[in-house]
Chain A
Amino acid sequence: MIGASLFPTVGDSEERANQLILWLLDNIIWPIVLLAFVIFSVLLPGVFSSAQNIQFLLFSSAALGMLVLAESLCLLSGNFDLSIGSIAGFSAMFTALFLHEWFPGMPGEVGILVILLVGATIGLGNGVAIGYFGINPFLQTLAFFIIFRGAITILSSLSVAPLPGAYTFLGGSTIATIPGLGDLGPLSNVPVAILVLLALYAIAWYVLNYTRFGLAVYAVGGDATSAKEAGIPTERVIVAVFVISGALSALSGLLFTGYLRAATPTLARGDLFPAFAAAVIGGISLFGGRGDVKNAFGGLMLISMIQIGLVQLGVDAEQIQFVNGIVLLGAIYLYAIESRLRARVLSE
């Protein structure tokens, strides 16, 4: 449910009970996140729930979080985007070469503009093809997924570093390095990437719930034909969604570059499916028009907690993939139950 009301309102008591159940199922990710946190805290006493670990959890989620946001936006509009990881990797490599080899000495701030522009431009390609030419989003973004992953190795098969400090600042620095900011005590060591992560989710939530554009995204995702008849410029909305998705993917590439202190040829490779999984686990519908980015953030937290918690428990990477698969399957079944319940409530 979007809009002002937090809880479903009025109706007879049975209807109210049904709506409450649906509301709980819509937001089920948060009790699950809490439960996972408690379980890992018990299994890793004194380690998992420490402030330092929570900070690390958020820091290491930031770059993936941008991809989750990019994917969530596409899903809400009734589309999807397989190319987000490739856009992140390509824009990061392109911009690293731009700063390091093509125009050495160029300020890092210019690099930030370049990377966002590269991502947005690739997104524009996706959006125009899908919105105006009616190309199937799966095929269009699959092609871009392959093309831009391949293009990275054409650009460079080696990592590119060092890069200007202003460029890696968002992804790799702490609050203490922000100029003009005094001593903030323990907060000084908080990575800037965490602020970026929290700010972007807050902005996305606000835009989707409180702007005409956000309402249009939900409308196009819910029923594109009706949205068009109601006067929503559906093609333009789809183009805008993919441009933003491309820019968010590039931002992910920027955060990864700062986190790794280099642009690597494998940057964001294999991150498409975790991003997809986090969005779906967070209740963003694959069919469009349903879901809330604040819950996608919950999905991101769950995926990241499992990753970090299992590593700390000494589980190896292959086995972590196995657990991730199980969690995704669980989420899919849970939302299948929810949509059946919704159908039952609707048919009454």
Chain B
Amino acid sequence: MASADRLAEVADADAPIIEMRGIKKSFGQVVALDGVDLTLEEGEVLALVGDNGSGKSTLIKTLVGVHQPDAGTISIRGEERTITSPKVAREYGISTVYQDLALVDTLSVAANMFLGRTPTKRVGIVRQVDWAQMNERAEEILRTRLNIEVDTTKEVEFLSGGERQAIAIGRALVTDPDIVIMDEPMSALSTDSKSKVRELVRSLNDEGITVLLISHSLDEVFSLTDRVTVLDNGRLVGTVETDRVSKDDIVQMIVAGEMPAGADG
């Protein structure tokens, strides 16, 4: 399932890689998303920002198939798609790095990276986990794509916060995605680790991977992203180009739920 195969199915090469239109989602009486649009252009880093409860996580979970929208459409490269589970999302080339990283501390780095997709080989009549291949591929992904040297047979609990984040990103790369969604990747990290993870995001993007970054930190947003989409209370406030606005503009969008004067949508 290389990305080349997916590119071959392209219906409209100029269409955005992801286009969500009019997404609505309610949980009981609570309206979490009220007709939100989100566009992700190929090769960009887009920030998704907004206060707690603004609907960021719900929007992402809708995109990766954890939730189903009540209304609205999701198109991938111009083709309307129904994404029923994170597994389906991965098949469309969308990988997610969860905020809690979803690592099992007692398992090794390699076992974590391939958890749920463990490579096997046939030995006689049984299919056996191919530890050698798994360790090797994990090591290769971390070294060549994230520039990290870790003993992949080591349990994850022995790693630092930044290394753990790298392993979680490494896991997202196992399926060779076109799009990586990162939910608050730096919220729980030390300053050192933050700058390391920043480098990781840049190197992903340099490889041509489109990144959707959910963030609370404006420093992070301004140092990493091309565009910023702001949500407020389940509504889209707007999308702006990062280098055409100030931090104050973004704060105003988050707090007041209004576009800053003079900014385009």
A226→B155 contact, CB < 8 A: no
Distance in angstroms from B157 CB to nearest chain A CB is 6
- Given A10-B151, A211-B126, A227-B115, A4 contacting B131 (CB threshold 8 A): yes
B102→A226 contact, CB < 8 A: yes
A346→B157 contact, CB < 8 A: yes
The complex places the Cα of A308 from the Cα of B154 at a distance, in Å, of 40
Nearest residue (CB) in A for B149 is A10
Distance in angstroms from A242 CB to nearest chain B CB is 21
Residue B116 CB within 8 A of the other chain: yes
B127→A223 contact, CB < 8 A: no
Distance in angstroms from A344 CB to nearest chain B CB is 12
Interface stretch of the complex, out of A63-71, A93-101, A194-202, A229-237: A229-237
The complex places the Cα of A231 from the Cα of B103 at a distance, in Å, of 12
A1→B151 contact, CB < 8 A: no
Residue A215 CB within 8 A of the other chain: yes
Distance in angstroms from A11 CB to nearest chain B CB is 7
The complex places the Cα of A9 from the Cα of B115 at a distance, in Å, of 22
Residues of B within 8 A of A4 (CB): 131-132, 135, 153
Residues of B within 8 A of A215 (CB): 107, 111, 115, 118, 129
- Given A11-B151, A218-B106, A289-B106, A229 contacting B98 (CB threshold 8 A): yes
B116→A230 contact, CB < 8 A: yes
Nearest residue (CB) in B for A76 is B106
B155→A1 contact, CB < 8 A: yes
Distance in angstroms from A232 CB to nearest chain B CB is 5
B129→A210 contact, CB < 8 A: yes
B128→A210 contact, CB < 8 A: yes
Chain A positions 280-313 with a Cβ under 8 Å from a chain B Cβ: 289-290
Residues of B within 8 A of A227 (CB): 104, 115
* Complex partner residue of B153 from A3, A219, A229, A289, CB under 8 angstroms: A3
Residue B22 CB within 8 A of the other chain: no
Residues of B within 8 A of A142 (CB): none
A232→B115 contact, CB < 8 A: yes
- Residue interface mask A31-52, B partner, CB < 8 A = 1: 0000000000000000000000
B131→A3 contact, CB < 8 A: yes
A231→B107 contact, CB < 8 A: no
The complex places the Cα of A231 from the Cα of B116 at a distance, in Å, of 5
The complex places the Cα of A345 from the Cα of B128 at a distance, in Å, of 32
Chain A positions 128-172 with a Cβ under 8 Å from a chain B Cβ: none
Q: How many A-B residue pairs have CB under 8 A?
A: 94
The complex places the Cα of A9 from the Cα of B157 at a distance, in Å, of 15
B154→A8 contact, CB < 8 A: yes
Nearest residue (CB) in B for A226 is B102
Residues of A within 8 A of B151 (CB): 9-11
The complex places the Cα of A1 from the Cα of B112 at a distance, in Å, of 13
Chain B positions 142-157 with a Cβ under 8 Å from a chain A Cβ: 151, 153-155, 157
The complex places the Cα of A126 from the Cα of B4 at a distance, in Å, of 47
Residues of B within 8 A of A221 (CB): 106
A225→B105 contact, CB < 8 A: no
* Complex partner residue of B106 from A8, A9, A232, A290, CB under 8 angstroms: A290
B115→A222 contact, CB < 8 A: no
A222→B107 contact, CB < 8 A: yes
Residue B100 CB within 8 A of the other chain: yes
Residue B73 CB within 8 A of the other chain: no
- Given A222-B106, A223-B106, A230 contacting B115 (CB threshold 8 A): yes
Chain B positions 45-82 with a Cβ under 8 Å from a chain A Cβ: none
Residue B120 CB within 8 A of the other chain: yes
B104→A223 contact, CB < 8 A: yes
The complex places the Cα of A9 from the Cα of B51 at a distance, in Å, of 45
Chain B positions 3-30 with a Cβ under 8 Å from a chain A Cβ: none
- Given A3-B153, A9-B153, A345-B158, A226 contacting B103 (CB threshold 8 A): yes
Residue B247 CB within 8 A of the other chain: no
Distance in angstroms from B26 CB to nearest chain A CB is 24
Nearest residue (CB) in A for B98 is A229
Residue B108 CB within 8 A of the other chain: yes
The complex places the Cα of A214 from the Cα of B111 at a distance, in Å, of 12
Residues of A within 8 A of B107 (CB): 2, 215, 218-219, 222, 289
* Complex partner residue of A229 from B102, B120, B131, B154, CB under 8 angstroms: B102
Distance in angstroms from A20 CB to nearest chain B CB is 13
The complex places the Cα of A223 from the Cα of B156 at a distance, in Å, of 12
Residues of B within 8 A of A13 (CB): none
Distance in angstroms from A176 CB to nearest chain B CB is 29
Nearest residue (CB) in A for B117 is A231
The complex places the Cα of A8 from the Cα of B108 at a distance, in Å, of 11
A222→B108 contact, CB < 8 A: no
Residue A269 CB within 8 A of the other chain: no
Distance in angstroms from A200 CB to nearest chain B CB is 16
* Complex partner residue of A212 from B98, B118, B171, CB under 8 angstroms: B118
Distance in angstroms from A295 CB to nearest chain B CB is 15
Residues of A within 8 A of B104 (CB): 218-219, 222-223, 226-227, 230, 289
The complex places the Cα of A5 from the Cα of B132 at a distance, in Å, of 10
In the complex, 8 of the A-B residue pairs with CB atoms within 8 angstroms, ordered by the A residue number, are A4-B131, A9-B153, A212-B120, A215-B129, A223-B103, A230-B115, A230-B116, A232-B115
Given contacts A5-B153, A218-B111, A226-B103, could you give 20 more A-B pairs where the C-beta distance is less than 8 Å? A1-B108, A3-B110, A3-B111, A3-B135, A4-B135, A11-B154, A211-B128, A212-B127, A215-B115, A215-B118, A218-B107, A219-B107, A222-B107, A223-B105, A223-B106, A225-B102, A229-B98, A230-B102, A230-B104, A230-B115
- Top 9 A-B pairs, shortest CB-CB distance: A231-B116, A222-B106, A229-B102, A230-B115, A289-B106, A222-B104, A4-B131, A226-B102, A223-B104
